[in-house]
């Protein structure tokens, strides 16, 4: 098991810290390098919960690294190495805290658009479709249900909202206004190529990839490059294919025990800070993350930890 990330464990790196996400931390190092660290924090209903899921950061990092390998012929990535022993010397004191849950990356100039591809209709996309018949300006056939497969995958970009606010769906013309026609078309083509390649791989493992969000940036040579973590349960909707049933909200591969407990058993009102999760919910959720890793990759999580 990976050691939980405490505020203490990376305290000496505070001066390098540049960004705290809901569940990840970003550090800027010398020579255009970034260190991304995935915590074990989990969010639900827009809250970060007070209880961590052991190994979640390592599972998401391991999955991202595996997807980067699978996508090697589709898009270049920001990954430099995830082998802690090859990190810059100043990180040596933190090797044990970083092992398995971190990636050394190249700094990119990030594109100011969240790039989302959907092959199935749910969430905000489904709500917009119910109101307008469209998602991000794309007209869809009538009669689609929550969870329906789309006739073909679509590019559904959003704005990048600050933490605490919701990303807002925009149409392709708004992307053109933001980044120009040439880059907008590249963003759409790359995002759809990533989705199509990943959805085909996931489906063979019995997992539907309903949608996915990627972060793209431009490298020193002007090449659009895949950043952040990718195709994890935090950035994508994974549905077990055997439980897929359009016309209702699909069960989440990873967070269903957490959502069920928060909604039905905890007595929580969603307005105040959420309660701590019971041990059995933590354990079952941890097992789902590990199961997702193993089912998708066909590798054992134990082997990943050994290799990290």
Three-state secondary structure call for residue 11: helix
**CB within 8 A of 48, min separation 6: which ones?**
22, 23, 41, 42
**Per-residue binder mask for ligand Q0N (CB under 6 A), 171-210, x = binder:** ----------------------------------------
Question: DSSP states of 19-88 as a string?
Answer: EE-SSEEEEE-STTEEEEEE-S--EETTEE-SS--TTHHHHHHHHHHHHHHHTTTT--BSEEE--GGGS-
Show contacts with ligand Q0N in window 139-168 (CB under 6 A).
none
- Measure CA 114 to chain center: 12
> Judged by CB under 6 A, does residue 104 bind ligand Q0N?
no
CA-closest candidate to residue 272, choices 13, 45, 15: 45
- What is the DSSP-derived secondary structure letter of residue 206? T
Name the residue number minimizing CB distance to ligand Q0N.
21
> Judged by CB under 6 A, does residue 230 bind ligand Q0N?
no
- Binder among 42, 53, 75, 105 for ligand Q0N (CB under 6 A): 105
- Binder among 217, 238, 290, 293 for ligand Q0N (CB under 6 A): 217
Q: How far is the CB of 231 from ligand Q0N (least distance, A)?
A: 14
Q: How far is the CB of 32 from ligand Q0N (least distance, A)?
A: 9
The count of other CB atoms within 10 Å of the CB of residue 43 is 15
Three-state secondary structure call for residue 8: coil
- Residue 5's DSSP bridge partners are none
Show contacts with ligand Q0N in window 25-54 (CB under 6 A).
26, 34, 36
- Binder among 228, 234, 254, 294 for ligand Q0N (CB under 6 A): 228
Stretch near ligand Q0N under the rule CB under 6 A, chosen from 19-27, 188-196, 250-258, 279-287: 19-27
Q: Which residues bind ligand Q0N (CB under 6 A)?
A: 19, 21, 24, 26, 34, 36, 78, 105-108, 110, 215, 217, 227-228
């Amino acid at each position: 098991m990976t050691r939980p990330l405490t505020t203490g464990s990376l305290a000496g790196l505070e001066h390098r810290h540049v960004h705290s996400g809901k569940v990840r931390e970003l550090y800027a190092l010398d020579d255009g390098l970034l260190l991304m660290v995935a915590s074990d924090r989990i969010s639900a209903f827009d809250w970060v919960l007070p209880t961590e899921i052991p190994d979640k950061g390592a599972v998401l990092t391991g999955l991202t690294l595996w997807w980067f390998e699978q996508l090697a012929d589709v898009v270049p990535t920001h990954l430099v190495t995830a082998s802690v022993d090859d990190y810059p010397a100043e990180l040596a004191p933190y090797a044990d805290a970083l092992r398995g849950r971190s990636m050394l990356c190249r700094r990119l100039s990030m594109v100011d658009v969240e790039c989302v591809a959907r092959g199935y209709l749910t969430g905000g996309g489904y709500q917009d479709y119910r109101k307008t018949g469209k998602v991000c300006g794309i007209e869809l056939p009538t009669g689609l249900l929550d969870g329906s497969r789309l006739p073909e995958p679509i590019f559904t970009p959003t704005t990048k909202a600050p933490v605490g606010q919701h990303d807002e769906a925009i149409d392709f013309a708004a992307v053109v206004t933001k980044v120009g026609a040439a880059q907008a078309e590249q963003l759409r083509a790359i995002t759809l190529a990533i989705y199509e390649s990943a959805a085909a791989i996931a489906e063979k493992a019995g997992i539907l990839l309903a949608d996915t969000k990627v972060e793209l940036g431009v490298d020193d040579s002007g090449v659009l490059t895949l950043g952040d973590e990718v195709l994890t349960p935090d950035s994508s909707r994974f549905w077990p294919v055997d439980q897929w049933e359009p016309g209702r909200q699909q069960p989440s591969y990873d967070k269903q025990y957490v959502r069920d407990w928060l909604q039905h058993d905890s007595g929580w009102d969603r307005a105040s800070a959420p309660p701590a999760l019971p041990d059995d919910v933590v354990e079952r959720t941890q097992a789902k993350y590990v199961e997702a890793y193993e089912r998708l990759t066909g590798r054992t999580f134990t082997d990943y930890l050994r290799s990290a």
